[in-house]
């Protein structure tokens, strides 16, 4: 029981870390395109692709991954002795009286609770940082998206992920990524 609880604390942080390390959604195998004529004024955009492909998105992903990796390493280091103690307790359980076993389990559980709280705190901090990073990128991208929208003479903008098919000639995503990269290059220099 105690070992399972220790492992669940590690799993919580591991799940958070892997969620932040992802840079792009998985894609299905290529299907025949539906094509069709370009519809004037109808444009597409993928915010996820902007976050995943723009330099500022890649930098944010790297920062979040480092934050998650550091937190995970800290929790793992603190978890290791508790796991060893839980396994030793499990091995000795048959030799102990029920009261001795219960006392040792309670002591181990008391030492585990702060570790679980720390893992949850790290997870919350990483999620808050992810939210801040995504908002900063969205704020920087909005004027760039508006400029690309006007340049292509769009009258309607759809999320590319919701389009099942058609002509993607009016996809603004690559233009927005290039413009963001150029903008972030100028501000970094």
Domains: count for the chain: 1
Tokens linked to 70: 């550091």
What tens digit of pLDDT does each residue of 42-83 get? 999 999 999 999 999 999 999 999 999 999 999 999 999 999
Could you give phi then psi for residue 130, rounded to 5 degrees? -60, -45
Task: Give residue 183's pLDDT.
Answer: 87
Q: Would residue 132 count as lying in a domain? A: yes
Q: Would residue 163 count as lying in a domain? A: yes
Tokens linked to 105: 């389990």
Q: Would residue 95 count as lying in a domain? A: yes
Mean pLDDT value of segment 166-189 = 85
Q: Would residue 30 count as lying in a domain? A: no
Q: Would residue 31 count as lying in a domain? A: no
Q: Domain limits at 50? A: 2-22+36-188
Query: 71-97 burial, b for 16+ CB within 10 Å, e for fewer?
Result: bbeebeebbeebbebbeebeeeeeeee
Task: Give residue 147's pLDDT.
Answer: 96
Q: Would residue 153 count as lying in a domain? A: yes
Q: Would residue 127 count as lying in a domain? A: yes
Q: Would residue 28 count as lying in a domain? A: no
What tens digit of pLDDT does each residue of 105-127 get? 999 999 999 999 999 999 999 99
SS3 44: strand
Segment among 16-20, 99-103, 168-172 with least mean pLDDT: 16-20
**CA nearest neighbour of 91 among 9, 2, 8:** 2
**Is residue 101 a contact partner of residue 89, using CB atoms and an 8 Å limit?**
yes
Beta strands in the chain (DSSP E): 42-45, 156-159
């Amino acid at each position: 029981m105690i070992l399972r609880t220790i492992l669940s604390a590690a799993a919580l942080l591991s799940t958070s870390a892997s969620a932040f390390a992802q840079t792009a959604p998985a894609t299905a195998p290529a299907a025949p395109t539906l094509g069709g004529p370009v519809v004037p004024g109808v444009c597409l955009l993928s915010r996820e692709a902007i976050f995943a492909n723009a330099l500022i998105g890649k930098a944010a992903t790297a920062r979040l991954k480092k934050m998650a990796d550091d937190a995970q390493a800290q929790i793992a280091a603190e978890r290791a002795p508790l796991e060893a103690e839980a396994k030793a307790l499990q091995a000795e359980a048959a030799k102990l009286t029920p009261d001795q076993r219960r006392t040792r389990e309670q002591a181990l559980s008391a030492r585990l609770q702060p570790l679980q709280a720390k893992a949850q705190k790290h997870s919350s901090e990483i999620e808050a940082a992810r939210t801040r990073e995504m908002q900063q990128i969205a704020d920087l991208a909005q004027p760039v998206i508006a400029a690309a929208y006007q340049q292509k003479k769009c009258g309607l903008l759809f999320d590319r992920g919701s389009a099942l098919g058609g002509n993607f000639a009016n996809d603004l995503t690559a233009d927005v990524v290039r413009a963001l990269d150029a903008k972030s290059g100028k501000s970094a220099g």
